[in-house]
Amino acid sequence: MTLLRTAKVGRLWFLLFTLAWLAIWTVQLTPVQLLLPDQLDTPGAANTWVSGVVYSGIVLGVGGLAGIVAGPLSGSLSDRTRSRWGRRRPWAMGASWLTAVCLVLTGLAQGPWVIGLAWTGVSIGVAVASAAFTALIADQLPESQRGAASASASSSQAVGIVVGVGAVVLLGLSVVAGYVALAGFIAMIGTLTAALLPDPRPDAAQQPVRERRGLPWESLRDRDFAWVVWGRFVTNVGNALPTTLFLFFLMYGLGQPKAQAEDSLLLIIVVYTVFVVIASVLAGWWSDRTGARRGLTVISALVQAAAAIVIIVAPSQTTTMIAAAVLGVGYGAFSTVGLAFATDLLPHPDDHARDLGLVNTSAALGQLVGPLIGALLVALVGGFWLLLVASLVLSAVGGVMSGFARDRRSAASRQQDPAPH
C-alpha cells in the first residue's frame, strides 16, 4: 500500500469544515436534547413520565439503527462517485437537504410512531452528510493536521448543542418553529460548505484498480480498526446515557418544574460546551505534536467515566454542573483524539469515506442508542441511578477497548517504500 502524501490546508478550509460540523451537530442534538423530549413527554399521574422517556429512547434508537446502515453505505458509494461536481460534494448537499425536509416533517408529526418515522429520515440524512464531510480529513489532510480537524468536528458537537438549545429556549420558539429553524440552518450551511470546500478528483494513486470489497463494514475485519470503532461506539453510549436524558433527569430526578429545568439544561450545556471545546483543542494539538493518540484516547474515556460518580454520590444541581464539566473534558478529548487515531488506522486507501463512515456512525449510533438503553434502565428502577452506573461502566469499557488497538503509524512510516507501486 502506498501512503498518500497531502499538503497542509489553510484556515479557510478549517473554517468551512468547522461550520459544516456545527450545522450537523446542531440539527442532530438539539432535537435529542430538547425538542423530542418535549414532543414525547407524558406528564400527569405517577410514573407516566416514564412512558415519555421510553418513547424518546425508542425513537432515537430506531433512527440510530438506520444511521448505522446509511453512513457506511453512502460512504462506500461516494468513494466510487466520479461526477463533475466531485465525489463527496453531491452526497453532502443531498444529505443536507434530506435532513432539512425530514426535520420539518418531524416538527409537524403527531404521536410517537409518526415522529419516529420522520426522525429516522433525519438520522439517515445526518449519517450520510457526516460520512461525506469526515472523508475530507483522510482525502486532503496530512497526519500533522488530522488532530486539529478532529478537534474542529468534536468541539462543534458541544457548540452545536448550545447554538440549537440556546436559540430555542432564549427565543421562546415552539417545537414546530424550532424544527423549521434547524431545517433552514442545515440547508443553508450544508449547501454552502459543501460547495466551497475543495473536492478534487482522485489522482491515479487513489483510483481503484479493481472492484473493491463489497460490504460497507468489511474493514471491521482489521483487528486494530475494529477495536477503535467498537470502543468509540461503547464510549459514546456511556456519554449519551446522561446527556440525552438531562431534561428528564432535571424534571423527574431533581424535581424541577419544566420551565426551570429548561433554563438549567441550557446552563449545564454551556458548562459542558466550554470544557468540551477546551479539551478538544488541547487534546488535538497535543496528539498532533506527540503522536500519543492511543494513550490519550484511553485516559479521556476514563475521565468521562468519572463524571457519573459525581452525580451518583450527591445528586443536585451543583453536582450536575460539576459532572458536566468533567464529562466535557473527557468526551471532548476522547472524540478528538479517537477520531484522529481511527483516521491513522484506516485499512484501505481507496475506501476513506466508507471506513470513516463506520467511525462516524459508531459515534452517532452510540449517541442515538444510548437513550434507548437509558430509557429501559430508568423504566426498570423508576429512577436514574442505574443509568448513571451504566454510564460509568460503559465509558470505562469503551476506553479499554480503544486501548487494544495498536498504533501502526510509526511502523507504517518505516516500512513505506518511496517508489510508487
Question: Which residues, in sequence order, are CB contacts of 290 under 8 Å at separation 6+?
Answer: none
Of the pLDDT bands very low, low, confident and very high (cuts 50, 70, 90), residue 6 is low
Put residue 222 in one of left, alpha, beta given phi > 0 → left and psi -120 to 50 → alpha. beta
6 in any annotated domain: no
| Spatial distance between the Cα atoms of 97 and 291, rounded to a whole number of angstroms | 38
At 348 the pLDDT is 67
Of the pLDDT bands very low, low, confident and very high (cuts 50, 70, 90), residue 202 is low
SS3 83: strand
Question: Which residues, in sequence order, are CB contacts of 229 under 8 Å at separation 6+?
Answer: 220, 342, 358, 359, 362
Q: For the residues 103-118, what does the mean pLDDT come to? A: 90
At 220 the pLDDT is 73
Q: Is the pLDDT of residue 204 over 60?
A: no
**Cα 22 to chain center, whole Å?**
11
228 in any annotated domain: yes
User: 488532530: which residue's cell?
Assistant: 147
Question: Domain tally for the chain?
Answer: 1
- Least confident range of 197-211, 236-250, 372-386: 197-211
Round the average pLDDT of the chain to a whole number and report it: 80
102 in any annotated domain: yes
206 in any annotated domain: no
At 230 the pLDDT is 92
215 in any annotated domain: no
**What is the span of the domain harbouring residue 68?**
11-199+223-413
CA angle 173, 370, 103 (to 5 degrees): 35
92 in any annotated domain: yes
Of the pLDDT bands very low, low, confident and very high (cuts 50, 70, 90), residue 178 is very high
2 in any annotated domain: no
SS3 201: coil
Residue 303: how many other CB atoms lie within 10 Å: 20
Report the b/e string of 170-192 with b at 16+ CB within 10 A: eeebebeebbbbbbebbbebbbb
379 in any annotated domain: yes
Q: Quick one: 413 exposed, middle or buried, by C-beta within 10 A (0-12, 13-18, 19+)?
A: exposed
| Spatial distance between the Cα atoms of 286 and 282, rounded to a whole number of angstroms | 6
Report the b/e string of 121-140 with b at 16+ CB within 10 A: bbbbbbbbbbbbbbbbbbbb
CATH number of the domain to which 306 belongs: 1.20.1250.20
Of residues 166 and 98, the one with the higher pLDDT is 98
